[in-house]
Chains A and B, each alone.
Chain A
Amino acid sequence: MSRLSDLRYSDVTPQSIYVNRRRFLATAAAAAGAIAGPFSGQGRAAALTGAKSAFSTTEKPTPQQVITSYNNYYEFGTGKDEPVRNAPKWKVPAPWTVQIGGAVAKPKTLDLDAILKLAPLEERIYRHRCVEGWSIVVPWIGFSLSALLKQVEPTAKAKYVAFETYYDPKAMLSAREAGIPFPYKEGLRVDEAMHPLTLLSMGLYGETLPNQNGAPLRLVIPWKYGFKSIKSINKITFTEKQPDTAWATYAPNEYGFYSNVNPKRDHPRWSQASENRLGEGFLGKGTRRPTEMFNGYAAQVAGLYNGMDLMRNY
């Protein structure tokens, strides 16, 4: 896999465009604020940049407009164009805290500012593959989740890590409407969670995360289907047993705990052999491409699953 070594930073949108875009956004936000009334001043992006990372792909990042307007965030609507309309109205609670406990020596509740100081920020350009058969390339800002998890000193009993999304019934759909249980839950094995590729992200495209992308902080696990990369995390628990996860609870025959990208293992309703890369080509023409095992990250992560039957442990 040569992908990870040969980063060409020129593939990424140059800083001048960031800056211009940010100026544009600020103007647009001000204009919108004048009209939007009660919701003005919320969800406005602030600059957040990071050093380039050897983990980045050289593939061309998907346009920011696509990444921030086409989202699966069921709490804010089950259509992919709904979160961009509904999520910005949500006021992210401040200070944002993440409660970390369970099988750990030092349970802690950390606020966002403290978390941001744990490690230097990096920009990691990752491929992102949705279970529905589309993919994007995202320049995330963040650092390895392990930097956060080490703070609480997991005990020998800790085999899994459970994550939970903040749930605000007033601003979000009910579980009944969305059809899946809320608060949204996800989980990883400890070795997956501690893997350097597993990213705790607070931004994308040089700015803080928009609400619809999981503000203020989320996971990004590039070798797993997108729904594993849980958004707006406010609770992390180390456990001995495999935790319940939202989609696997809802339909265990369709979604498994691992949900590693695997072109050979079809979802009952979609082939996983290929994917549509969004944001390229008129009407997506010529953007269908074969899906790679572990989304192309096999060299880094295949070792985590030695001896496991991945057709059964999907």
Chain B
Amino acid sequence: MPKILASKWTKAAVFLVCLAPAGYLLALGGLEYRAQVQGIGQPGNLTGDPIKYITHFTGDWTLRFLLLTLAVTPLRKLLNQPQLARYRRMIGLYAFFYGCVHLMIWMGLDKEFAGAELWKDILERWYITVGMASLLGMLPLAVTSTAGWIRRMGFVKWQRLHRLVYGCAALGVIHYYLLVKSDIRLPLLYGAILAVLLSYRFAVRRRKAGAVAAR
């Protein structure tokens, strides 16, 4: 297992797997293009409201990758697979990538780059404000995700900055909770997963602190 995880081929495979949702979306888009523009095949590949479908699809994957990023360290420790750490950066960057696509779809396709309406939504609609805060929070993390930046900042400082990712995930869950009309089951599920990941972290911390105190 450690050997497989250390292989560069495994890393390439994981890279492609993370790209699969985007590929799937592109394929559906291709089918829809054929149907709508070239008149081949049935339309409706992206449901009756393609913009909403793509927005929801990319939003879902942003949140899933964010939570997956947070799950890497607990899994690494629980399964005793130190090599898993090699994947955290990539998965985190994928969260940022899907988040950026999510934002671009909203700005470009949904609002058709209508500046005033964009600002109004960002400032007045709480769920948009919160979503924007989440993505903006991910920006410095994406920028400083390289080994070079860890060296430059020093590991302790870097690690402290990157704890922001918990805040981003929490804002992502709140964004989702705020935007559903009445069925809160999925936002609650994501919230519960985040709570489990957070409590694992606190448990580890408390044990460390306890170990220090006992010394």
Q: Which residues of A contact B (CB under 8 A)?
A: 63, 65-67, 69-70, 74, 78, 80-81, 132, 134, 136, 177-180, 250-251, 268-271, 273-274, 276, 278-279, 281-286, 288
- Is A282 within 8 A of B109, CB to CB? no
**A250 cross-chain contacts in B, Cβ below 8 A:** 182
Cα separation A245 to B68 with both chains bound (whole Å): 41
Instruction: Report whether B120 and A271 are in contact in the complex, using a CB–CB cutoff of 8 Å.
Output: yes
User: Which of B33, B44, B47, B182 is within 8 Å of A80, CB to CB?
Assistant: B47
Which residue, B46, B50, B179, has most C-beta atoms of chain A within 10 A? B50
Question: Closest CB of chain B to A73's CB: distance in Å?
Answer: 13
Q: Is the interface of A mostly helix, strand, loop or mixed?
A: loop
A285 to B105, CA, bound (A): 11
Main SS of chain B's interface residues? helix
Out of A269, A273, A276, name the residue touching B179 (CB < 8 Å): A269
Collect the chain A residues with CB atoms within 8 Å of residue B74's CB. Answer: none
The answer to whether B47 and A65 have CB atoms under 8 Å apart is no
For A63, what are the chain B residues with a Cβ–Cβ distance below 8 Å? 43
Task: Determine the chain A residues whose CB is within 8 A of the CB of B52 once the complex forms.
Answer: 80, 134
B182, closest chain A residue (CB): A179
Contact B185 A66 (CB under 8 A): no
A69 touching B47 by the CB < 8 A rule? yes
* Chain B interface, number of residues (Cβ within 8 angstroms): 34
Chain B residues with CB below 8 A from A285, complex form: 109
Sample (5) of A-B pairs whose CB atoms are under 8 Å apart: A66-B43, A80-B47, A269-B127, A276-B51, A286-B112
Contact B185 A177 (CB under 8 A): yes
Residues on B facing A (Cβ under 8 Å): 29, 32-33, 36-37, 42-44, 46-54, 109-110, 112, 117, 120-121, 125-127, 178-185
B49, B125, B127, B185 — most chain A CB neighbours (10 Å): B49
Q: Other than the known A179-B183, A284-B50, what 8 A-B pairs have Cβ atoms closer than 8 Å?
A: A69-B44, A70-B47, A80-B52, A136-B48, A178-B182, A251-B182, A269-B126, A274-B117
> Given the complex of chains A and B, what is the CA–CA distance between A284 and B106 in angstroms?
12
A283's partner among B29, B44, B182 (CB-CB below 8 A) is B29
Interchain CA distance A81-B110 in the complex, whole Å? 19
Whether B29 lies near A65 (C-beta < 8 A) is no
Whole-angstrom distance from the CB of B51 to the nearest CB of chain A?
A: 5
| Closest chain B CB from A24 CB (angstroms) | 11
Please indicate which of the listed interface residues A69, A132, A179 has the most CB atoms of chain B within 10 Å of its own CB: A179
Most buried by A among B54, B121, B179, B183: B183
Q: A269-B127, A284-B109, A288-B112 are in contact. Are A279 and B182 (CB under 8 A)?
A: no
B47: chain A residues within 8 A (beta carbon): 69-70, 80-81
